[in-house]
Structure 1
Amino acid sequence: MIHGTVTYRGGRIFDGTRLIDGYAISFKDGQRLAYGPDADVPDMGAVIHLGGDILGPGYVDLQVNGGDGIMLGDDPSVDTLSRIARAHRALGVTHLLPTLITDTPEITRATIAATIDAVREGVPGIAGLHLEGPHLSVARKGAHDAALIRPMTDDDLTELLAAADALPCLKVTIAPENVTEAQVAAMAQAGILVSLGHTDADYDTCRSYMAAGARCVTHLFNAMSQLGNREPGLVGAALACGKVFSGLIADAVHVHPEAIRTAWAAKSGPGRIFLVSDAMAVAGSDKTEFTLKDRTIHRRDGQLTLSDGTLAGADLDLTTAIRVMVEQVGLPLEAVLGAATTAPSQLLNAGLVTPADPNCRASDLIRISRDLRAVSVLI
């Protein structure tokens, strides 16, 4: 925590919607003391000139598979969750959903229990849990282990409903091939954030599942039925359905910048496209490879791949994703910052703490360099 009084000025303030010039903010022992136009906020305590950098809310990442050299499924425990959260905090993420890739029922139960414990213990950054599988489509499995993919049973559903009662947010990625509409409706009614992904389902089926309660799509374009001229697939359904939000891996590897630009323009609202890192064990580390269920994942040239070249998560942080969206896709910086903060926070049903919030603490904010190449935390 910041001790004493600190005033920040000379930068741009992102309030969750707008980038504001000519504003300053000061903190006393980490709690917001003053905020407003430069003329209304005198220099108090230590004065830090931002030099045009951006001060705004921390990132919200709903798809974090690992970090600090470890995957969530390697050792589902409060310690593992703490390590992953700390690694991503250094990358600017203040709220995340640790994500379990398709695994055994035993590992899934252990992960749910560990996350419930982490939330009870107040581990910073842990906003719930994302279960990406095992109820997916083998045809669109990506790097998921086909041997572990299976239909959702009544027992599975009962366990998920119980987990939802104990967690602030439970996100579950499913495919219509292995989950019924009735199961989706039951999850949605219990407050579970149901997301469609890793599926080959057609457009009409996807729209039916959205009507049943699915409100999200996992990593748009990747591991799903594509937008065709006669069959729009899940991509088309995600863009057409206004209530649905869509995660996006904006590394210019998983999705071409022109496809991102087209999707952004086509997306019906109020649901929005938001950024995810899909980060793996290498996040926040210098590791060049790691194992995923006895399979080696290689880190080269900003990509993570299996030996056969299949993409296996992303070597990405959200600051880099923002830079790709601005410099390669050509989108406005304000909108892109919102895609890393405001939009995903809506899915968590948790208010985003911004500099404009009187209860804002320095630890809620991050500093992004003006060239979008570095991020630092305020603590």
Structure 2
Amino acid sequence: MASKRVSCSYCAVQITVPPHTHAIHCAVCQTITRVQPNDPLVQAHNSVRHATSKLKDMLNTASSNIHMMVATMNNNSGSRTSGSGYYPQARPLPSMAPVSTHGSKRAVLCGVSYNGQRYRLNGTVNDVKCMRYFLIQKLGFPSDCILVLTEEESDPSLIPTKNNIRKALKWLVQGCQSGDSLIFHYSGHGSQQPDFNMDEVDGYDEMLWPVDHQTEGTILDDEINATIVRPLPRGARLHAIVDACHSGTVLDLPFVCRMERDGKYMWENQGCKSAIYKGTSGGLAVTLSACDDHQVSVDTTALSGNASTGAMTYSFIQAAQNEPGLTYGRLLNAMRQTIRDTNIGSHLNGPVKSLLKKVLHPKSPQVPQLSSSETFDVYSKHFVP
């Protein structure tokens, strides 16, 4: 049976879901809507909400234009044009400008150092710089289509706070079309909490830590999935490269690749636990994460000499640039081999070292993981970001 489009009961945004979905979680307004197939009252109710939402958008746009015109008339400064008079300098930040070109590439790179906090990380900014260089020089991503959030940025909107990370994730999928390639790279802390909506196989939700997580809270896997996974249209690709502890299923993708040390693998369906659809709107979403949900990852100098890096970020870039066109299976195995071959435990950095020594077991190091919105043969499908 074909998939169908369902309207959010609050903001009326259209979401594509499989035919037997019982509920949807809106990525725009975060409202959960129970799906009632072929109910004319519900459809009429949603149509009214949709029309009301459109009218509000039109009024807000008109109001913004009027305010801009008034501000322009009251301000004599501006940039001179080739003709007479001035035009206002009302333009969005280049880094947040929407990208709508068909077949475009864009990325969000987020490195959180937690400066001034006892669990500060040393390698996250290096991870982001390396990833940016790799995307531009090796994969052909335009530099002005890469949004970087670190604590080194002078622009307050590019500090990796919870609000700024949320905005960046929405920017990433804004106007996404078939043929687009999206990258989300995160280097920072991650953790778990008990699963309260009963959609996790292991009973825990995974989360990322913004720099202001102590006051504003963390970002749950449920929200990340709703924001950048479910809106992904047919023909578009999303790759999330997450260098954090407990990050195995941090995008809540339905399928996890369980690969043994000898390379044998099977796909584990974790989507069957949830009544809420966790897949895409037809596109392909893939996560390469630093470790399994129960494991921790490290910030280390063992791989790159004196410079601190995340073990996962370093091993990913090394494998992907040394062997262009490799398959997902080959990529995952190469990353795991690099980490296995490195004596990471003796190179742990900073205040995190004493903490990790308590939880790291020499027989249970971090093992990079692969999860996806759909199953495929990992040894024949090529990694094409």
TM-score (norm: length of structure 1)? 0.26
Q: Which has the higher contact order (CA 8 A, sep 6+)?
A: 1
Q: Which has the higher strand share?
A: 1
TM-score (norm: length of structure 2)? 0.26
